[in-house]
Structure 1
Amino acid sequence: MNKTLLVAQREFLTRVQKKTFLLSTIGLPLLIFSLYAGIIYFSVKSTDHFKVAVIDKAHLFNGSIDDKKTTELIFNFVNDDTASVQKQLDNHTYDAYLYVPAGFSISSPSDSLQLRSGKAIGLLTRETIQKRISGALEEKRLLSMNISKQQLDSARAEKDYIRFSNAAGKTNNDSKVGISYAVGMISGFLIYIILFLYGTMVMRGVMEEKVNRIAEVIVSSVRPFQLMMGKILGIGSVGLVQFVIWIVLVFGLQLILPMIFPDLATQMQAQPIQPGTVGAAQAMKASGAMGGLMSGLSDINFPLIIGCFIFYFMGGYFLYSSLFAAVGSAVNEDPQDAQSLLLPIMMPVIFALVIMTKAVNDPNSSLAVFGSLFPFTSPIVMMARIAHGIPDGVTLIQLLVSMALLVAGFLCTTWLAGKIYRTGILMYGKKVTWKEMWKWAFRKN
């Protein structure tokens, strides 16, 4: 055991002390944060706005399109004629102008307004202009029909006539289900990436020691199984440390954002809420959505998810890394030999990813239950189910059985890979197949 820990310590320190570890662990999150902060900075500090001159000969809007105060789209009412405004359009004083003829009637189905622009209008800007002008015209039309805006907002208000709840009577709102879906997908993809990344790292480390004949020297004082376990533990510790640093950096940098951009929250709250207006209805809807989001977050058992993530990350890593190490010990200098041997190992991982996409939507389906119990797919699939909670997404018995099967699977694959590693690490100049590796695994000492 001491020799295994010595090998693990060597693998851990060798990788952690490299500059590439610092760059990938600290530099990459900081780079992503810098790009993210730059996008926010230009979004907050941007002064670009689209000016529209309104020539209202019919006095339809009474000097105001709507009551929204935004800098992205500005309507200026002018008393000039179209020729004068066209010159201002050519001089880029305005980006477009809207002409309302004197005989325009909102009750006539054939009448329409034309907006002339001096440059191409983007799709989002076009949609915003059309929405604000159409909303103002609709309000004028309703007022002419003696229908108040409050009555229209009340008729259009969305109402949930069906409420979902579990067997215990606890309400499951859409926010909770959506957050569970997102958490399950993200957790499953993270483990999927980790299995590829660190499993390949173990395989390359074994291949390098074999090609450089370092393994021959180490094996003289350390048993092959101890050497393999030391490499798996050392590289796994590197992955765990790297993951913890990423989590700390991500959450820490998120807390710093409001300090760097204090205007962000101010701009989000800049629009006044007035009763009986479209802005008020949208603000109330946004407020309800934010409340539902916070309620959904409070319903998610994050300590359970984080604990299960660490367990399945370590279990899946140990299970697959032992197989990666076995492949690395069996191949020689040609990387194509390793790629041909990796296909049977990668198929369960890809299969688990496919099952995960179904498990996040239907966590209690028979395929999802099987995938969460089968050791080769459980690290990915179980995270999709556990995000929905206990017992809604997975029962406690199924979770414990899945963990026990994963531990048993890790012990079996480690024993199997150790026997392959013992023979393959000292064999050179021969192209190995899975059939021959299978013989090594069950060959008597």
Structure 2
Amino acid sequence: MSNISIIIQREFNERVRKKSFIITTLLMPLLMVALMAAPALIMQFSRGDEKRIAVIDESGLVAPRLESDEELRFEPTDLTTEEARRTLTDRFGVLRIGGDILENPSDVKLYANSSSSLSVESSITDQIERILEAEKLKRYNIDNLQQILDEVKTTVTLQTFRNDKSQEEETHAQSSTVATVTGYVLGFILYMFLLIYGQMVMQSVIEEKNNRVLEVMVSSVRPFDLMMGKILGIASVAVVQVAIWGVLICGIGAAVMPHLMPSDVMASAQAMQQGMPDAAAASGMDPEMLQAVAAITDLGYIVRIFVCLLLFVFGGYLFYSAMFAAVGSAVDNVQDASQLQTPITLPIILALLMMFAVIRDPNSQMAFWFSVIPFTSPIVMIVRIPYDIPLWEIALSLAVLYASFVGMVWFAAKIYRVGIFMYGKKPTLGELFKWVRYKY
């Protein structure tokens, strides 16, 4: 154990003292927030140049009601279609609307002078559809029809409560939106950690093998101790990184967010945390938004999430890093490792794909079994946890994962102690299994 602890300290200190580790650890939460906000910002600021469209309306119904905006500017013209196409080349295009547009809604043509886009075409068709629908409704001769439609339009807000948790007074509404977003973020974090830190172990083994460092070390340290020390050392780096993120996010959620949010919003969120489901109705706020604020500022909820994240990051990393270490010991360079690591990365990718099915139905039989099988359980189970699944399922998943790690270490160690002495040849998968059967 003293040899393993020395190797753990060496691996840990080598990585934690790097400036890249400190910078990545501090910037990663900001990067995650930026990635989540990027699509909305891109859509907000990616408006194209103003496009002038000449409109030839043979029906006389649509052109007067087309509304121009920052992107599209509609300009009615009395020219024929052929004349407009020939002379109005300075416009983005010519929009022709047929005379029987009410009976034949497909009689709409856009002659663009440059490449068009889906957003432009959708904007045009959406406006024409609304105009035609309003025109058809007029035929029913109902007074104040638009006012009636506006008054009839109703938005239903559904609040979900866990009846299997408590059948007494309504206590705390469950937000599927918050659970889905949290599951997505946690799933991608696990995916990133398993690949990055697993490959970090593999690359470290390859570098030491090429430098002949392993040959010197195994003269005083058993190959098994060397592999375990390397795995646990890099695992401690991952745990420290997640712990720092947890402290940062908990600090932001508990200390900073209350000062950024309006006082009435925070009061309603705290009321919801204390079991007052009607807080949203009383404040007039959107329940989903209020539940999101309540989750972000709930220190107990954030701590539970990060404790589970730590357990599955650590367990999933231990399980996969043993295989990555075995692959690293069997090859001489990263290029040769690409073929051998494919069977390792495929289950990780499968778990990421399963994440979308799990979010659709977190309590299905498929979701349960994929969250127990150790090859996919770290990612799949961490996605299910925000949906408040039974505690025994989490405990079962962790027990199977950590027990499988013991078996995987035994399997990988047999490959490792042979592979570190093999040079100049890339072994096949069949040869790796032969190494497992060697007796010492």
In which range does the TM-score fall when normalised by the shorter chain?
0.5 to 0.7
2:149 counterpart of 1:152: yes
Task: Name the counterpart of 1:122.
Answer: 117
Structure 2: 5+ residue stretches without partners = 252-283
Measured against aligned partners, the alpha-carbon deviations of 1:359-397 in whole angstroms (never above 9, x if no partner) come to 33333333433332333432122123213213xxxx112
- The alignment partner of 1:71 has SS state of coil
Task: Name the counterpart of 2:404.
Answer: 409
Task: Name the counterpart of 2:137.
Answer: 142
Structure 1: 5+ residue stretches without partners = 253-287
Measured against aligned partners, the alpha-carbon deviations of 1:31-51 in whole angstroms (never above 9, x if no partner) come to 9969x8799479538572234
Does the CA-based 8 Å contact 2:328-2:337 persist in structure 1? Answer: yes
Aligned residue runs from structure 1 range 369-408, under 5 A: 369-390=368-389, 395-408=390-403
Residue range with higher mean Cα deviation, 198-207 or 160-169: 160-169
2:164 counterpart of 1:167: yes
Task: Name the counterpart of 1:232.
Answer: 231
Q: 1:405 to 1:43 in 2, by over 3 A?
A: closer
Kindly provide the amino acid, as one letter, of the partner of residue 150 in structure 1. Q
Task: Name the counterpart of 1:131.
Answer: 126
Does the CA-based 8 Å contact 1:96-1:115 persist in structure 2? Answer: no
1:208 is displaced (CA, Å) by: 2.5
Task: Name the counterpart of 1:255.
Answer: none
Kindly provide the amino acid, as one letter, of the partner of residue 367 in structure 2. A
Kindly provide the amino acid, as one letter, of the partner of residue 132 in structure 1. Q
1:27 is displaced (CA, Å) by: 8.9
Once residues 292 and 37 of structure 1 are traced to their aligned partners in structure 2, the CA distance between those partners, rounded to angstroms, is 21
Once residues 368 and 41 of structure 1 are traced to their aligned partners in structure 2, the CA distance between those partners, rounded to angstroms, is 34
Once residues 85 and 357 of structure 2 are traced to their aligned partners in structure 1, the CA distance between those partners, rounded to angstroms, is 60
Kindly provide the amino acid, as one letter, of the partner of residue 90 in structure 1. L
Task: Name the counterpart of 2:437.
Answer: 439
Does the CA-based 8 Å contact 1:98-1:113 persist in structure 2? Answer: no
Aligned residue runs from structure 1 range 1-400, under 5 A: 1=1, 3-15=3-15, 40=41, 43-44=44-45, 46=47, 48-52=49-53, 65=66, 70-75=69-74, 81-82=78-79, 90=88, 92=90, 95=92, 109=103, 119-120=113-114, 121-143=116-138, 145-147=141-143, 148-154=145-151, 157=154, 166-168=163-165, 176-177=175-176, 179-240=178-239, 291-292=287-288, 294-295=290-291, 298=294, 301-329=301-329, 331-333=330-332, 338=337, 342=341, 345-346=344-345, 348-349=347-348, 352-353=351-352, 356-390=355-389, 395-400=390-395
Once residues 73 and 172 of structure 1 are traced to their aligned partners in structure 2, the CA distance between those partners, rounded to angstroms, is 46
Once residues 413 and 357 of structure 2 are traced to their aligned partners in structure 1, the CA distance between those partners, rounded to angstroms, is 35
Q: 1:383 to 1:82 in 2, by over 3 A?
A: same
More relative contact order, 1 or 2 (CA 8 Å, 6+ apart)? 1
Q: RMSD between aligned alpha carbons?
A: 5.3
Once residues 353 and 116 of structure 1 are traced to their aligned partners in structure 2, the CA distance between those partners, rounded to angstroms, is 42
Once residues 320 and 122 of structure 1 are traced to their aligned partners in structure 2, the CA distance between those partners, rounded to angstroms, is 45
Once residues 343 and 55 of structure 1 are traced to their aligned partners in structure 2, the CA distance between those partners, rounded to angstroms, is 59
Q: 1:316 to 1:54 in 2, by over 3 A?
A: closer
Q: TM-score, normalised by structure 1?
A: 0.65
Q: 1:89 to 1:25 in 2, by over 3 A?
A: farther
Does the CA-based 8 Å contact 1:89-1:118 persist in structure 2? Answer: no
Q: 1:25 to 1:382 in 2, by over 3 A?
A: same
Aligned residues: 392
Kindly provide the amino acid, as one letter, of the partner of residue 318 in structure 2. F
Task: Name the counterpart of 2:271.
Answer: none
Does the CA-based 8 Å contact 2:85-2:111 persist in structure 1? Answer: no
Once residues 234 and 17 of structure 1 are traced to their aligned partners in structure 2, the CA distance between those partners, rounded to angstroms, is 13
